């Protein structure tokens, strides 16, 4: 298999001056005519061949400057079209291919989803539509003509503005769309189908009117309202916060049912997985509403960070994705609660990115080689990429960050650029040298920061000793120290902040330590009392922190830290430590549990904290988080037992109190997805979870809640909590849920997700039966991910069974799915990255299943690459 290296990057010898596409869409096939105006770049030697990319294409005809080409002048196969000796001047190349979108199960290129023709071109899907220079540094204006039968495709959409449309007779009609902005082919999109829509408009800050449309299956229009509201708020926010205005006359979104990812930012025509568009209270949870708002914003923000400024090559993916995730996180923080959003984002980082970064699939946010680019749309590129931008924002401050972003937009608008250029903008704007900081982009692995402290009362001096280690990751045996921004505070015995008169031993800017070496000892003078340090406030860097703080210190922070993130984190660390110790045979003391319980109850009863925050504070870390914390020879059964034991010990003496708070939080208000109501529901469901895991009261409460719930958030929570704890009612609730919502595919996903998390031994047999049912939609990514993805990621006890049944179930499913949709198959397989931290017997069972997959099947490049990296 061929590996692509960043060091081999070179611009194409030819550039594409303009693109005209003509799609004739018919039920049986689609004919694509492409007219590419091409010219050699300066410096290209005469006679240099022009090599266009293709993927599963067959050339029907070819002409150059209007004349058919002789066979000796070109060579074509499924994967490329080569002009042996193109003219050494501007020329027009015309090609024609015929596609069968209905047979395209990979969902890349042009395909049909529930009858609608749609496209997905990022990263390399355009080459499945026509022969092209399919790479992000080839930018061109596109004009698209499409014709189709009016009966099946009354709606014809593409990028840019609609410039012509009309009737063609014989039931056919056409539309012509023109996109005035230069774009790479991965931002191309086309949609044709029989769709309903909702319309609205937005007036930009300079007074331009933009027409907004959301297109969907007929009958779903009302469920698009929240997405439209989110879009309008996103457009306004980008103007307010970043001064960025929308640039076309129309902005359309289309919801489709078969999609490999969440959504796609095609210029002026975003295409969405319908699970991230449709919402109504009876079938969507608060988390679904939150997800819709976030992804609508994310794709919209790409218009500036991704489309107007794009990537030079796919190694730079993080340039657009890390930055855009940072922007969507900031949007949600401004729209909802900043601390709650920060906790949410860090939980996500710790449960998905840290495991990736600490295992066989670790790679830098900007990798330097890949076999299959689709395997690099990872949590490291997205979430760690966002953390890196956040560290820049932390170091530069709000005004400094905005100034740098303004310069980025000014300097690079219209460019296909690099991470280096991005860093250079921040250097030029701030005057800082960021060469060491740039290592965050180039080095894999989560740094481990150890901090210890001491206080000398006589001299009133306080010492913090920091060290950083960065474990080897695949292909990177040695690591450089990183520049780590540590936001911190010192807290005095009465809970108020302590100041200092001077500091030596390192760089400290106000409340920020710039820690840039293997170790450092900072001495603070004039510290009146022995402090408890609050470190990495707001999670100021994506590191694993270990300190010499006692359980008492942590619980002190949980009560007194002025930083809400660290209050939450102190509780998390306190409970993680107790569970991890118990799972490894070191039981907790009664005092430990009493103190933790008291801190949790204080938080619950604190009148100043909001419900959403309290829900996060009361959330006892998941088994997977504790497993990661233990880090080696993990026995998930022991972790699960220890977690249940701790929750039981915490809850038992206060079960009545928790139950009455649960009752008191019930509300008869009409459902709204707003932050206040969602927070209240999450606290109430958090209490239900504690009561179900830790007492015998919860099961009945959950069963009752399932019956009386008036919205999906409460009904789903009741079912999922019952299933995760496998209460005596769980099976019946699953049955009732399935019957109640039969026929709704997005609700079926919820059923699949919950079913896959049952911890009982029979879960694998049940999942096999679900998958084998004749009506299970085996080609739909949402269905497959809901069942298999949640099993792999959230059911450690059954997935990692010593008898290997969990591993085999997944490898057998992956082998089948790979034949249909390699992207979905390889993503499910990434769950095996957990193997290195498991105890030996489980690890070996997992490796055996992977070996069998490799030996018994012909695998796609997608699956092959992931498999080889895990087996290495």
Would you tell me which residues interact with Zn ion (CB under 5 A)?
Answer: 321, 324
d(CA 376, CA 762): 34
Q: Which residues contact 747 (CB under 8 A, 6 or more apart)?
A: 283, 712, 741
Q: Are strands 161-169 and 172-183 parallel, antiparallel or unpaired?
A: antiparallel
Q: For the CB of residue 321, give the shortest distance to ligand HT7 in the complex, in Å.
A: 5
Q: For the CB of residue 168, give the shortest distance to ligand HT7 in the complex, in Å.
A: 32
Q: For the CB of residue 302, give the shortest distance to ligand HT7 in the complex, in Å.
A: 6
Rounded alpha-carbon distances, angstroms, from residue 103 to 110, 117, 127: 10, 12, 16
Select the binding partner of residue 757 from ligand HT7, Zn ion, none (C-beta < 5 to 8 A, by kind): none
Q: For the CB of residue 179, give the shortest distance to Zn ion in the complex, in Å.
A: 19
Q: Is 261 in the site for ligand HT7 (CB under 6 A)?
A: yes
Segment near ligand HT7 (CB under 6 A), from 40-48, 127-135, 298-306, 698-706? 298-306
Query: Would you call 375 helix, strand, or coil by DSSP?
Result: helix
User: What is the 8-class DSSP label of residue 619?
Assistant: P
Both tokens of 375, joined, read: 């395997």
> Mask: binding to ligand HT7, 123-142, rule CB under 6 A, as x and -?
x-------------------
Q: Is 330 in the site for ligand HT7 (CB under 6 A)?
A: no
Q: For the CB of residue 575, give the shortest distance to ligand HT7 in the complex, in Å.
A: 33
Select the binding partner of residue 132 from Zn ion, ligand HT7, none (C-beta < 5 to 8 A, by kind): none
Residue closer to Zn ion, measured from CB, 264 or 640: 264
Handedness of CA 708, 711, 716, 717 (dihedral sign): negative
> Mask: binding to ligand HT7, 67-106, rule CB under 6 A, as x and -?
----------------------------------------
Segment near ligand HT7 (CB under 6 A), from 8-16, 119-127, 597-605, 796-804? 119-127
Cβ–Cβ under 8 Å, residues 489 and 460: no
Q: For the CB of residue 375, give the shortest distance to ligand HT7 in the complex, in Å.
A: 10
Which residues inside 818-837 make contact with ligand HT7, applying CB under 6 A?
823
Cβ–Cβ under 8 Å, residues 327 and 375: no
Q: Is 120 in the site for ligand HT7 (CB under 6 A)?
A: yes
What are the DSSP calls for 74-130, one per residue? EEEETTEEEESS--SS-EEEEEEEEE-GGG-TT--EEEEETTEEEEE-TTTTGGGTS
Q: For the CB of residue 377, give the shortest distance to ligand HT7 in the complex, in Å.
A: 5
Residue closer to ligand HT7, measured from CB, 193 or 781: 781
Q: Is 223 in the site for ligand HT7 (CB under 6 A)?
A: no
Cβ–Cβ under 8 Å, residues 707 and 692: no
d(CA 610, CA 336): 12
From 94, 299, 387, 729, active-site residue: 299
Residue closer to Zn ion, measured from CB, 117 or 186: 186
Residue closer to ligand HT7, measured from CB, 20 or 293: 293
Residue closer to Zn ion, measured from CB, 378 or 695: 378
Q: Are strands 74-77 and 80-83 parallel, antiparallel or unpaired?
A: antiparallel
Segment near ligand HT7 (CB under 6 A), from 263-271, 430-438, 676-684, 753-761? 263-271
Residue closer to ligand HT7, measured from CB, 263 or 593: 263
d(CA 89, CA 24): 30
Q: Does 608 participate in catalysis according to the annotation?
A: no
Residue closer to ligand HT7, measured from CB, 14 or 314: 314
Select the binding partner of residue 293 from ligand HT7, Zn ion, none (C-beta < 5 to 8 A, by kind): none
Residue closer to Zn ion, measured from CB, 160 or 306: 306
Number of residues that bind ligand HT7 (CB under 6 A): 15
Segment near ligand HT7 (CB under 6 A), from 61-69, 116-124, 652-660, 780-788? 116-124
d(CA 795, CA 787): 11
Cβ–Cβ under 8 Å, residues 401 and 38: no
Q: Which residue has its beta carbon closest to ligand HT7?
A: 261
Select the binding partner of residue 266 from Zn ion, ligand HT7, none (C-beta < 5 to 8 A, by kind): none
Beta bridge partners of 491: 497, 532
Q: Which of residues 94, 137, 321, 563 is near ligand HT7 by CB under 6 A?
A: 321
Q: Which of residues 55, 137, 299, 818 is near ligand HT7 by CB under 6 A?
A: 299
d(CA 346, CA 326): 12
Q: Which residues contact 86 (CB under 8 A, 6 or more apart)?
A: 14, 38, 40, 48, 49, 50, 64
Residue closer to ligand HT7, measured from CB, 824 or 834: 824
Select the binding partner of residue 264 from Zn ion, ligand HT7, none (C-beta < 5 to 8 A, by kind): ligand HT7
Q: For the CB of residue 105, give the shortest distance to ligand HT7 in the complex, in Å.
A: 14
Residue closer to Zn ion, measured from CB, 296 or 719: 296
Q: For the CB of residue 302, give the shortest distance to Zn ion in the complex, in Å.
A: 6
Select the binding partner of residue 120 from Zn ion, ligand HT7, none (C-beta < 5 to 8 A, by kind): ligand HT7
d(CA 664, CA 644): 25
Which residues inside 718-747 make contact with ligand HT7, applying CB under 6 A?
none
Select the binding partner of residue 14 from Zn ion, ligand HT7, none (C-beta < 5 to 8 A, by kind): none
Q: Is 265 in the site for ligand HT7 (CB under 6 A)?
A: yes
Select the binding partner of residue 122 from ligand HT7, Zn ion, none (C-beta < 5 to 8 A, by kind): ligand HT7
Residue closer to Zn ion, measured from CB, 14 or 376: 376
Both tokens of 714, joined, read: 């409460």
- The DSSP element (H or E) to which 328 belongs, if any, is helix 317-335
Q: Which of residues 230, 374, 418, 430 is near ligand HT7 by CB under 6 A?
A: 374
- The DSSP element (H or E) to which 546 belongs, if any, is strand 544-547
Q: For the CB of residue 261, give the shortest distance to ligand HT7 in the complex, in Å.
A: 3
Query: Would you call 313 helix, strand, or coil by DSSP?
Result: coil
User: What is the 8-class DSSP label of residue 356?
Assistant: H
Cβ–Cβ under 8 Å, residues 131 and 76: yes
What are the DSSP calls for 465-532, one per residue? EEEEE---BTTB-S-PPP-EEEE-EEE-TTSSB---SEEESSEEETTEEEE-SSEEEEEEE---SPPE
d(CA 104, CA 446): 39
As to burial, measured by CB atoms within 10 angstroms (0-12 exposed, 13-18 middle, 19+ buried), residue 71 is exposed
Q: Which of residues 20, 94, 122, 372 is near ligand HT7 by CB under 6 A?
A: 122
d(CA 353, CA 33): 43
Residue closer to ligand HT7, measured from CB, 234 or 260: 260
Residue closer to Zn ion, measured from CB, 263 or 622: 263
Q: For the CB of residue 687, give the shortest distance to ligand HT7 in the complex, in Å.
A: 35
Q: Which of residues 57, 81, 146, 264 is near ligand HT7 by CB under 6 A?
A: 264
d(CA 810, CA 850): 10
Select the binding partner of residue 377 from ligand HT7, Zn ion, none (C-beta < 5 to 8 A, by kind): ligand HT7
Handedness of CA 545, 546, 547, 553 (dihedral sign): positive
Q: For the CB of residue 255, give the shortest distance to ligand HT7 in the complex, in Å.
A: 14
CA angle, residues 384, 868, 446, in degrees to nearest 5 = 25
Q: For the CB of residue 740, give the shortest distance to ligand HT7 in the complex, in Å.
A: 32
Beta bridge partners of 544: 448
d(CA 19, CA 16): 7
Which stretches of the chain bind ligand HT7, using CB under 6 A?
120, 122-123, 260-261, 263-265, 298-299, 302, 321, 374, 377, 823
Catalytic residues: 299
């Amino acid at each position: 298999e061929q590996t692509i290296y960043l060091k081999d990057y070179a611009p194409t010898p030819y550039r594409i001056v303009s693109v005209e596409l003509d799609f004739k869409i018919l039920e049986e096939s689609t004919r694509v005519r492409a007219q590419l105006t091409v010219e050699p770049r300066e410096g290209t030697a005469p006679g240099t061949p022009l090599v266009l990319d293709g993927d599963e294409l067959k050339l029907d005809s070819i002409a150059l400057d209007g004349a058919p080409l002789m066979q000796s002048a070109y060579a074509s196969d499924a994967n490329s079209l080569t002009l042996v000796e193109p003219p050494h001047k501007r020329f027009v190349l015309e090609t024609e291919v015929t596609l069968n979108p209905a047979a395209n199960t990979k969902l890349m290129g042009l395909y049909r989803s529930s009858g609608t023709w749609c496209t997905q071109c990022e990263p390399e899907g355009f080459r499945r539509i026509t022969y092209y220079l399919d790479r992000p540094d080839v930018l061109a204006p596109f004009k698209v003509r499409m014709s189709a039968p009016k009966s099946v495709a009354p709606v014809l959409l593409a990028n840019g503005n609609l410039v012509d449309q009309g009737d063609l007779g014989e039931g056919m009609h056409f539309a012509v769309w023109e996109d005035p902005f230069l774009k790479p082919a991965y931002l191309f999109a086309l949609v044709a189908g029989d769709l309903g829509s909702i319309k609205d408009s937005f007036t930009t800050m300079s007074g331009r009117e933009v027409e907004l449309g959301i297109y969907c299956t007929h009958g779903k229009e009302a469920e698009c309202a929240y997405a439209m509201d989110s879009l309008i708020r996103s457009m306004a926010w980008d103007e307010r916060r970043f001064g960025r205005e929308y640039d076309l006359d129309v902005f359309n979104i289309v919801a489709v049912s078969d999609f490999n990812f969440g959504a796609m930012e095609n210029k002026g025509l975003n295409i969405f997985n319908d699970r991230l568009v449709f919402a109504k209270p009876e079938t969507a949870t608060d988390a679904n509403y939150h997800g819709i708002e976030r992804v609508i914003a994310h794709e919209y923000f790409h218009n500036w960070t991704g489309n107007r400024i794009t990537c030079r090559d796919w190694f730079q993916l993080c340039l657009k994705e890390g930055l855009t995730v940072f922007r969507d996180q900031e949007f949600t923080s401004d729209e909802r609660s900043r601390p709650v959003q920060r906790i949410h984002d860090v939980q996500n980082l710790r449960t998905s990115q840290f495991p990736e970064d600490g295992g066989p699939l670790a790679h830098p946010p900007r990798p330097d080689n890949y076999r299959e680019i689709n395997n690099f749309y990872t949590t490291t590129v997205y979430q760690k990429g966002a953390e890196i931008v956040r560290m820049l924002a932390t170091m530069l401050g709000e005004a400094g960050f905005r100034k740098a972003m303004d310069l980025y937009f000014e300097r690079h608008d219209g460019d296909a650029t690099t991470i280096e250029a991005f860093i250079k903008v921040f250097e030029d704007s701030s005057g800082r040298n960021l060469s060491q900081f740039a290592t965050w982009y180039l080095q894999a692995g989560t740094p481990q920061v150890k901090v210890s402290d001491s206080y000398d009362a006589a001299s009133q001096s306080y010492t913090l000793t920091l060290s950083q280690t960065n474990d080897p990751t695949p292909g990177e045996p040695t690591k450089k120290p990183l520049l780590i921004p540590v936001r911190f505070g010192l807290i005095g015995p009465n809970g108020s902040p302590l100041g200092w008169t001077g500091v030596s031993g390192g760089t400290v800017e106000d409340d920020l330590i710039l820690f840039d070496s293997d170790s450092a000892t900072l001495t603070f003078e004039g510290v009146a009392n022995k402090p408890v340090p609050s470190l990495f406030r707001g999670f100021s860097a994506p590191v694993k922190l270990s300190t010499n703080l006692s359980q008492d210190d942590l619980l002190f922070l949980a009560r007194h830290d002025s930083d809400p993130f660290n209050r939450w984190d102190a509780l998390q660390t306190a409970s993680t430590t107790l569970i991890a110790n118990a799972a490894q045979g070191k039981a907790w003391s009664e005092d430990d549990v009493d103190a933790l319980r008291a801190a949790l109850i204080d938080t619950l009863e604190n009148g100043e904290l909001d419900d959403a925050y309290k829900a996060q504070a009361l959330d006892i870390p998941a088994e997977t988080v504790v497993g990661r914390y233990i880090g080696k020879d993990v026995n998930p059964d022991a972790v699960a037992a220890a977690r249940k034991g701790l929750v039981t010990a915490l809850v038992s003496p206060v079960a009545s109190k928790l139950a009455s708070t649960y009752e008191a939080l019930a509300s008869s208000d009409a459902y709204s997805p707003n932050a206040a109501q969602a927070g209240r529901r999450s606290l109430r469901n958090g209490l239900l979870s504690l009561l179900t895991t830790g007492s015998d009261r919860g099961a009945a409460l959950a069963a009752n809640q399932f019956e009386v719930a008036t919205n999906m958030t409460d009904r789903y929570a009741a079912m999922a909590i019952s299933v995760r704890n496998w209460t005596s009612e769980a099976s019946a609730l699953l049955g009732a849920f399935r019957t109640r919502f039969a026929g709704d595919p997005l609700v079926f996903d919820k059923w699949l997700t919950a079913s896959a998390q049952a911890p009982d031994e029979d879960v694998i047999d049940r999942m096999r039966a679900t998958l084998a049912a004749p009506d299970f939609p085996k080609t739909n990514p949402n269905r497959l991910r809901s069942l298999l993805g949640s099993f792999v990621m959230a059911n450690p006890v059954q997935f990692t069974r010593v008898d290997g049944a969990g591993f085999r179930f997944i490898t057998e499913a992956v082998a089948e799915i790979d034949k249909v949709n390699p992207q979905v198959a390889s993503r499910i397989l990434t769950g095996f990255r957990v193997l290195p931290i498991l105890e030996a017997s489980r690890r070996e069972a997992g490796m055996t299943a992977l070996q069998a997959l490799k030996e018994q099947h012909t695998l796609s490049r997608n699956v092959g690459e992931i498999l080889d990296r895990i087996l290495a």
